Every structure is written in structure tokens, then in C-alpha cells.
Amino acid sequence: MSAFPNSVNYSALPRKALGSRVSKIQIAPRNASTFSPGNQIQLQLPTMANSYVNLGNAYLKFKIKAVGNACHLDHTAYSLFNRITTSSQSAVLDDLTEAGCLYSSLLDLGMGSASLRDWGKVCLGSDGNPEQSHLGHALTTSASVGVALPFFTGIFNSDKLLPLDTADGVVFTLYLETALNSLIADAHGSLPTGYIIEDVNLHAYIYTLSPESQALLDQSVGEMGYSQIFESVAHSSDSKTTGELTKISTLGFRYSSLSKVLITHRASDNLNDATQLSISNRSHANMMEYGLLLGGLPVPERPIVSDPSISDFSEPLSETLLSFGVLGDKFAQLGLNGLTQDRLTSDASTDDAFTNHHNRYAVENGHLADSKDYADIKLHNFAGMGSYVCAVDCDIVKNAVGGEASNLYSGIDTLGMTCQAKIRYSGASTNSMVIDYYAFYNSILSLNPITRSWEVSN
């Protein structure tokens, strides 16, 4: 069937939106005004007739400063959050743990060095150094730093606006990470003892329909009701000792549509240490092959293979980019940092002070040398900085930009199955590792027409 191209199709004009107005709101925490490590920030959406909030365009704005001693953030201000939950009338709709490690990985997979230098420096709490993306913004005990963080997991990535005409507003609870994990000391021996967060507000835009437009929308929705789909993320973890060459982890990921699983390794002695980048320093740990076992069957059918002896991780990275829908996208932006250089002197103005190239995606044991601090890392320690992350794609519909391009969700149904990860290592690692597994799965959020409360199914 032939048709005119849009450039000469003068009858195909955009349609005007139904009668509505847009307003911006700022939501302050309901439980306190200042926060410190171990606290919770609780933000509750308002209830408003004929109104819908755009969470995809929302961002959390706050100010932060150090307590005790000057320091820097680990990677970005996302490292301040250990857990993020979404609830409605005490029912949990979404629950993400180890959020900081996940967001660090997602930023590396979706944010280039130019964005890190500009947007990351101004808004996200990055130090803005393209050569060392995992160094976060400087914090002092006297002056605050302002950040504005969008979120892109859970309900924040829903395909629809969220109705606000409900019995009770949706509550987001952000659990704050410890200072030892989320910060890195400026000077060795002068560790930060905490941080203070204040002036917290969730900025969001609300779309309000006229009564007539709302009546038309109710009629068009009909019996299907107000339902929407979003991608949830669940976390599981395991540990690997230095001598283990095969690791089988039972994960407990049971969902009707499991789309992918992301895997990270972090050196165990990086955690709870303010002289290390506890959140963002990731290792390949001599991984030789990996995959999933779903109901005893391997996914994919052949394991994903790498060769640490020659730093060949091309297949894991390709499979990871496929999982996130950017394989083959020539405009994709990555922040894995490829090759970086060591600086030999402490004189940052010396032109010839660099030597030794290090591929940060090929760091076997992401652990900084002893007696180092932020200044040392910035000048000398690229060799101990790792950005390795890998994933397994579970979508049945695969293409260059993921199954979502077909307006489908097509993850594997793992309900009633045992879900395991199997990893083989080529040799003993130089450090014991914490392994983090993140399951991405599809959830359907529905508004109960009688109780006006939210229900989730996955």
C-alpha cells in the first residue's frame, strides 16, 4: 500500500490535546527536614481529582555536606541511597535494594564522558572528570552541594502518567547508605564520619484534565481500568572466596516476565571502607563464562565466554549492550571509560606525566592500594579502578533496540522455576568478592476501581 511521506502529507496534522493544564509541584518529605546516614526520606504524592503526575520527568533535589572531615561522593549522589521502595496504603509496589551499585552500573552503561563532565557535574554529584568517572563531587563540612537526581527504575520508568485520583498518595521511601560506603576520604587517616542532607524536594509536573476531558478518558478506558506497565528491579547477592572456580547462586527470581539479569563483582574488603570506592569499583574477577539456569535449562543455550588472560571481554559487553537495547546503536553513550592513563607525578600541570594505559573494563580486582586517599586516586591509581559489569538477556523478542521496540514485553516466565546463575572463573582471584545480581522484570500496576488503591502483579 502506497502512501505519501510525512513531509508532503499536508492532511496529517498533529491533533490538539484535550482540555487540560500543567502545573509544577514540589513535594517535601513528610517525616523530617534533615537526614543523615541510616535515615529514611519519605515522599508522598498528593491526591488530586482528574490529575496525573509525570514521574519520568521528576527529579529529587537536595543539598548535602560532609560531617567530620572533607570527602568526595562515590561516583555520584545516587550512592547515597541503599534502598528505594514504593508503597500504596502499606502495600509494597516496588522494592530495590543495593540501589547505589545498580545506578552506578546503569550510568556507566548509558552516560558518556561528555554528559558526565557537564550534566553529571552540575546535577548528579559527579566530580566531572572524564578520565576518572567514578570520582564524585567534593564535600566539605562548611558548604553544601546541590544536586538534582532523576530516577529511572521502578514506577519512574512507567509507560504512562500516574493517576493521582486515589484513596491515598503513593509513598517513595529512600533509605540512606552509610558514610563509609557512599563517601571516600580526601585524606588518608581523616575519614568522614557522616553527611547531612537537607532542603529535600521532589520536583514533578502534574497534568490536570478538565471534567469533560476526564469523562471522555474514563469512557475510553472502560473495563480495562487504569493500568500501566513498568520495569521493576529486584536484587540478590552472593559471595565468592578467593579459591572458588565455579559459583552457582540460587537467586529466587520468580516473575511472569524476566527480561534480563545484570551481574557485578566488588571486592569484599572495599565495602564499609571510606578509603575505597565501595559502591562503584567493580571487577571481572577472572570470569571465564557465565549464564543462567532457569528450571535447570541454560539461558542462553551457550554460556557467555571471556578470556581474562588477554583481557578479551568483547562477548560479555556485547551481550550486556544487547540486554539494554543499545547493541548496534551508533549513537549509544557509554561511560565504561575504556583506556585511561596513570599519572606518574603529583604535578597536574606536567604534560608528560602520564604512562601505562589501563582498560577499566578489564580490571581483575578493583581494589585501591593501601594508604591511598582521594588525591592519590585522582593522580595515580587508575590501575585499581574497575568498571566491569555484565548481563544476560532473557527477552524472547530480540532486536537491535530490545523487545520494547515491538511494543511487546517478552521476558521469560520463571514462575515456579528455580532461577540460578552459574559462573566459571579461569583462576583464583586476588580477593574475595561480593556478587550482586539484579533482575529486571515487567510489572503491571492497576488502580482498583472500588478501593482506589494501587495493586501490582508481576
CATH for 440: 2.70.9.10
Residue 189 domain flag: yes
Look-up of cell digits 588472560? 309
- pLDDT at site 291: 97
Residue 400 domain flag: yes
- pLDDT at site 403: 42
Which tens digits make up the pLDDT trace of 364-423? 888 887 666 666 665 555 677 889 999 999 987 765 444 445 567 778 999 999 999 999
Q: What share of the chain in percent tops pLDDT 70?
A: 89
Residue 9 domain flag: no
- Show the domain range for 29: 20-457
As a whole number of angstroms, the distance between CA 230 and CA 242 comes to 38
What's the rounded mean pLDDT across residues 98-104?
97
Task: Return phi, psi of residue 279, to 5°.
Answer: -85, -45
Residue 352 domain flag: yes
- pLDDT at site 402: 44
- pLDDT at site 164: 96
Q: What's the total number of domains in the chain?
A: 1
Which tens digits make up the pLDDT trace of 215-257? 988 888 877 788 999 999 999 999 999 889 999 999 999 999 9
Query: pTM score, two decimals?
Result: 0.92
Residue 118 domain flag: yes
Residue 371 domain flag: yes
Residue 1 domain flag: no
CA distances from 195 to 39, 133, 181 (A): 11, 22, 12
Residue 386 domain flag: yes
Please, what is the average pLDDT of the chain? 87
